[in-house]
Amino acid sequence: MLRRRPLPALAAAAAFTLAGGLAASALLGLAVAQLEFDKIGLSFQQRASLRAAALRRGLDEAVEVLTVTNQLFATVQPVTRAQFHDFTAPLLARHRFIQAFNFHRLVSDAERAGFEAGMQRLRPGSVITEMKDGAIRRAPARSSYSVVDFLEPMAGNEAAFGLDVAGNAMLMATVGRAVERDGAAATGLLSLAQDARPDSAFEIVLPVYRAGAPLASSAQRRAALVGDSAVIVRAAALVEQILRAADLAADPGLVLAVYASERADPARLVYGSAAPPEARTALAGLRRVLALEAGERYAHTLRVAGQPWHVTLHGAPRALLADHLGSLSTLAGALLFTLLMTAFVHTYARRARRVELLVEERTRDLKRSNQRLIDDVSARRRTEQALQESEQRFRQLVALSSDWYWEQDRHYRFVDITGGIGAKGGVAAERYLGKTRWETVEGMAGSAWGEAHIAAVLAHQGFSNLEYATVSETGETRWFSINGEPVFDAAGAFRGYRGTGTDITARKLAEQRIHHVAQHDVLTGLPNRSLLQDRLGQALAHALRSAQPVWVMLVDLDRFKFVNDSMGHKAGDVLLVTVAARLRAALRESDTVARLSGDEFVVILSEHPEQRLAVDVVQRLMDAVAQPVLLGGKEFFVTCSVGVAVFPTDGAPAESLIEHADIAMYRAKKLGRNNFQFYTPAMNEEAQERVRIEGALRKALERNEFVLHYQPQVELASGRIVGMEALLRWQHPELGMVAPNRFIGVAEETGLIVPIGAWVMRSACAQNRAWQDAGLAPLKVAVNLSARQFGAPGLIDDVQAVLADTGLAASLLEIELTESLFMSDVGQAVELLHGLKALGVGLSIDDFGTGYSSLSYLSHFPIDVLKIDRSFVADIQRDANDAAIVASIIALAHNLKLAVIAEGVETAEQLAYLRRHGCDQMQGYYFSRPLPAAEFARLLERQACLADMPA
């Protein structure tokens, strides 16, 4: 501002500085002085209210102490002197201002003599006294007394012991007030019998009531009054202790006065001195005038136990300098500074102004050019830094990434490869530099994919994910994936290529592994179903081209389940692996062996001109499988069943080859396993019927399509019917009456035989019981039990339940079992047989003679009957061998104490032969076909007999 003004303004500047400085000094001085006053005033108010609050607390505490003491009377009845002593002793020790605790007891004149006697036991010579004109004397007779009875401490207070205070109007009024407000009440100052100083103490009293009296109204309380407890407090000591305790006693800056009255009544002064005389000295007057003495005052009235207390505080006179040093020195300093500044401004203002003008001008110029320079430099620095960062970023990225970076010139020759192709890709950059890609990658030029790439590059197209294999420095195959794009200069001319490369060998290997895992069986390592389809497709395509046949074989192990169940899954796995290896070894390299599932393998054989396909290939495979296998230290002989489907067969589609092989294999199984079958269309029909029957069978039970027929069993000796065999019939709405041999096998394979068999058992027993109930003679009923039922859990319980439910005697049920039941687990079978036997049912061996079993083991089984298979019976007349077998079975069975029944007896000759050889019973068309229940009943009713038969 200064520089713009003309020269005369300079003098004005100095004057302005002076005037402003003086005014600012004065203001500053006053402001600081005001702050000082505020501080003094604030500190005074704080200290004063601290004391007033401490006094309030102390007084309240005195009342609290008494309340606690009084509590003794409320809770203990009556209170003994010792208890009073014990209770008050710690309170006295803690609160020095307490002169005494006492208990004023109301004593009637009648009680006086007794009461005084009690006092004398404690202190000889004591009587009830009173205080009259400052002297103690024996109290004259009154209607009642309020006597100091309990007194603690006694020492120093002896004079008060026995004192009757009934005459003390103030004390009595206080007690009255206490009863009225039902709380503590305090007296004004009073003189004590035990203290010569007048008006030195006050008393706080609390009424003591008779225990249990109602105290709701003041009248009730007056009536219940038995005395009062009191604490005698030395007023001055109390105030002193309160201040000392709060550490507020010594403050020379404060003058404290406490009055036991509503206002500052010098006559009621308890503590401190009365207010100071008004200022009269010359110095004090001056201080007033200068307003340097604040004249702080504080007055407060408290009310404790109904008694007013007045507290005044005022500031003690202070030294002027002590309180106002700050404001005075500030003022002096400011004045001095003002003068100096004025002189300085005056002297330098002129010179400074010119220099300033010049400097400012130069500075402005300089600033402008400087700014331009700074802008330039920082712009350049930014560019450089950005460049460096970009370069660094690139290097870091290349180092971090698995890629390397390459550049080619316009002739597609590598000119630069950075980023560690050696470390990342296992080939040295030098191998490439100066050459094109197709010169360095073997097999690229000439291959379809390579030529396509070369064409794209020559057309200056970008490319990505170009994958190829190359050989590393160490001779292993590495896979690279390359991305590249053409580079053009500013004029648009082609300059070459640049791009990245990455090693993808690990990924390629993983892909190959995954591919292999996805196409092979984990256990045997053979191709799985998915790869099998591929191979089959290839084989068939080849077959079509070369017009040479393909054989598809389905190989299924016989009794694999038995090995798995009895030897454990580990053994089962070993067996599968072994078989897989044997199949593989038995075939040519070009043939395929795949594992279809579980124990099923598929073999694809293609015909070669020099080697025709022939049945002995199949036999060779079966022989290979049938070699003994060592499992868990035991030798096992595992055979297999094989189905073969031939391609091309007339009209059969390629897709059904495996299915046909399966059907043929199934037939091979049916024919007793360990053989092979070539597929024929008839097999297919059979298989389809099987499927039809299976579907219908599932619903047959619930649709109630089953019925039982009964075929009589006749005793040869008497010619009478002694039993019957229950035979299942299936009446299907579309298929008509389905013979058991068409569906029992299916039911067994599917497990449906279990519920169906249960139905048969229950129905047969129920029917037998019904015939008895209808009055017919008791007969035994034979029920066929299939292997599946025999092995099913809960068989014995089920049979027992059927007997219990139908009420049929166990002896009238015979269960027919076939030898095959005992083949898998003899131990378990014997156990089950004994269980059944224990129920009381009969057991017979059905179709005897057809199984593999020798007669010897029969002795170990709890069997009752042998049923000679009808094939032997049928041949009795044609085949002398069979006839002999029948005769020896009968003889042997009798040796073992078994009954023998021959089934399938169709002719009188057969019957005669059986009779000759001592057969016990017969069953067959000769006597009767199986009959529906109603017809069978008629047979029984007319008591049909063998003797009635035509010869």
Tell me which of 228, 293, 296, 846 binds ligand C2E, using CB under 6 A: 846
* Distance between CA atoms of residues 802 and 762, nearest Å: 6
In the complex, the smallest distance separating the C-beta of residue 646 from ligand C2E, rounded to whole angstroms, is 35
> Dihedral, CA atoms, 236, 239, 242, 247, nearest 10 degrees?
-100
Adjacent-strand bridge partners of 414: 408, 433
In the complex, the smallest distance separating the C-beta of residue 569 from ligand C2E, rounded to whole angstroms, is 31
Please check whether residue 101 is in contact with residue 79, taking contact to mean a CB–CB distance below 8 angstroms: no
Residue 572 site contact among ligand C2E, Ca ion, none (CB < 5 to 8 Å, cut-off depends on kind): none
* Distance between CA atoms of residues 567 and 573, nearest Å: 10
Residue 130 site contact among Ca ion, ligand C2E, none (CB < 5 to 8 Å, cut-off depends on kind): none
DSSP-derived 3-state class of residue 261: coil
With binding defined as CB under 6 A, does residue 757 bind ligand C2E? yes
Structure tokens at 528: 């799985």
- Contact segment (CB under 6 A) with ligand C2E among 155-163, 378-386, 524-532, 752-760 equals 752-760
In the complex, the smallest distance separating the C-beta of residue 831 from ligand C2E, rounded to whole angstroms, is 21
With binding defined as CB under 6 A, does residue 928 bind ligand C2E? no
In the complex, the smallest distance separating the C-beta of residue 534 from ligand C2E, rounded to whole angstroms, is 45
Nearest to 109 by CA among 80, 144, 133, 85: 144
Tell me which of 88, 307, 711, 767 binds ligand C2E, using CB under 6 A: 711
Burial 200-239 (b: 16+ CB within 10 A, else e): bbbbbbbbbbeeeeebeeeeebeebbbbbbbbbbbbbbbb
- Let me know if 583 is exposed, middle or buried by CB neighbors in 10 A (0-12, 13-18, 19+): buried
Structure tokens at 749: 């394979």
Cβ neighbours of 1 (radius 10 Å): 6
With binding defined as CB under 6 A, does residue 739 bind ligand C2E? yes
Tell me which of 502, 606, 786, 806 binds ligand C2E, using CB under 6 A: 786
* Distance between CA atoms of residues 747 and 594, nearest Å: 31
**Cβ neighbours of residue 617 closer than 8 Å, sequence gap 6 or more:** 551, 605
- Contact segment (CB under 5 A) with Ca ion among 112-120, 242-250, 505-513, 784-792 equals 784-792
Residue 272 vs 904, nearer CB to ligand C2E: 904
- Contact segment (CB under 6 A) with ligand C2E among 264-272, 285-293, 377-385, 898-906 equals 898-906
**Cβ neighbours of residue 880 closer than 8 Å, sequence gap 6 or more:** none
Beta-strand (E) ranges in 317-450? Answer: 403-408, 414-418
- Contact segment (CB under 6 A) with ligand C2E among 262-270, 458-466, 533-541, 900-908 equals 900-908
Residue 924 site contact among Ca ion, ligand C2E, none (CB < 5 to 8 Å, cut-off depends on kind): ligand C2E
Residue 270 vs 727, nearer CB to Ca ion: 727
494-503: strand order across its sheet: 414-418, 403-408, 494-503, 477-488, 463-471
Residue 208 vs 876, nearer CB to ligand C2E: 876
* Distance between CA atoms of residues 305 and 104, nearest Å: 18
With binding defined as CB under 6 A, does residue 728 bind ligand C2E? yes
With binding defined as CB under 5 A, does residue 203 bind Ca ion? no
- Contact segment (CB under 5 A) with Ca ion among 326-334, 584-592, 645-653, 842-850 equals 842-850
Give how many residues touch ligand C2E by CB under 6 A. Answer: 22
With binding defined as CB under 5 A, does residue 816 bind Ca ion? yes
Tell me which of 251, 407, 906, 935 binds ligand C2E, using CB under 6 A: 906
With binding defined as CB under 5 A, does residue 814 bind Ca ion? no
Tell me which of 21, 162, 227, 904 binds ligand C2E, using CB under 6 A: 904
Residue 592 site contact among ligand C2E, Ca ion, none (CB < 5 to 8 Å, cut-off depends on kind): none
In the complex, the smallest distance separating the C-beta of residue 798 from ligand C2E, rounded to whole angstroms, is 14
Residue 149 vs 846, nearer CB to Ca ion: 846
Residue 515 vs 929, nearer CB to ligand C2E: 929
SS3 of 728-743:
EEEEECCCEEECHHHH
Residue 786 site contact among ligand C2E, Ca ion, none (CB < 5 to 8 Å, cut-off depends on kind): ligand C2E
In the complex, the smallest distance separating the C-beta of residue 791 from Ca ion, rounded to whole angstroms, is 18
In the complex, the smallest distance separating the C-beta of residue 852 from ligand C2E, rounded to whole angstroms, is 18
Cβ neighbours of 157 (radius 10 Å): 21
Q: How many alpha carbons lie under 13 Å from residue 687 in its C-beta half-sphere?
A: 16
Residue 728 vs 836, nearer CB to ligand C2E: 728
Contact pattern from residue 281 through residue 320 relative to ligand C2E, giving x for each residue in contact according to CB under 6 A and a dash for the rest: ----------------------------------------
DSSP string, 568-586: -HHHHHHHHHHHHHHHHHT
In the complex, the smallest distance separating the C-beta of residue 754 from Ca ion, rounded to whole angstroms, is 18
Q: How many alpha carbons lie under 13 Å from residue 111 in its C-beta half-sphere?
A: 11
In the complex, the smallest distance separating the C-beta of residue 711 from ligand C2E, rounded to whole angstroms, is 6
Residue type, 17: T
Cβ neighbours of 501 (radius 10 Å): 23
Adjacent-strand bridge partners of 256: 313
* Distance between CA atoms of residues 852 and 848, nearest Å: 10
- Contact segment (CB under 5 A) with Ca ion among 408-416, 834-842, 847-855, 874-882 equals 847-855
C-alpha distances in angstroms, 426 versus 403, 417, 429, 443? 13, 13, 10, 19
Tell me which of 659, 847, 882, 920 binds ligand C2E, using CB under 6 A: 847
* Distance between CA atoms of residues 298 and 255, nearest Å: 10
In the complex, the smallest distance separating the C-beta of residue 541 from ligand C2E, rounded to whole angstroms, is 48
With binding defined as CB under 5 A, does residue 784 bind Ca ion? yes
In the complex, the smallest distance separating the C-beta of residue 925 from ligand C2E, rounded to whole angstroms, is 3
Nearest to 795 by CA among 756, 838, 760, 758: 758
- Contact segment (CB under 6 A) with ligand C2E among 616-624, 653-661, 733-741, 889-897 equals 733-741
In the complex, the smallest distance separating the C-beta of residue 749 from ligand C2E, rounded to whole angstroms, is 13
Contact pattern from residue 223 through residue 242 relative to ligand C2E, giving x for each residue in contact according to CB under 6 A and a dash for the rest: --------------------
Cis upstream peptide for 778 (omega within 30°): no
Residues 908-927 touching ligand C2E, rule: CB under 6 A, are 924-925
- Contact segment (CB under 6 A) with ligand C2E among 331-339, 573-581, 601-609, 903-911 equals 903-911
- Contact segment (CB under 6 A) with ligand C2E among 159-167, 328-336, 362-370, 738-746 equals 738-746
Burial 703-725 (b: 16+ CB within 10 A, else e): eebbebbbbbbbbbeeebbbbbb
Please check whether residue 227 is in contact with residue 78, taking contact to mean a CB–CB distance below 8 angstroms: no
C-alpha distances in angstroms, 589 versus 533, 538, 581? 18, 15, 13
Residues 663-702 touching ligand C2E, rule: CB under 6 A, are none
In the complex, the smallest distance separating the C-beta of residue 619 from ligand C2E, rounded to whole angstroms, is 33
In the complex, the smallest distance separating the C-beta of residue 869 from Ca ion, rounded to whole angstroms, is 6
* Distance between CA atoms of residues 119 and 137, nearest Å: 16
Nearest to 758 by CA among 815, 819, 820, 807: 815
Residue 52 vs 744, nearer CB to ligand C2E: 744
Residue 102 vs 844, nearer CB to ligand C2E: 844
With binding defined as CB under 5 A, does residue 844 bind Ca ion? no
Site residues, Ca ion (CB under 5 A)? 784, 816, 846-847
Applying CB under 6 A, the residues found at the interface with ligand C2E are 711, 727-728, 739-741, 744, 753, 757, 760, 784, 786, 846-847, 870, 903-906, 924-925, 930
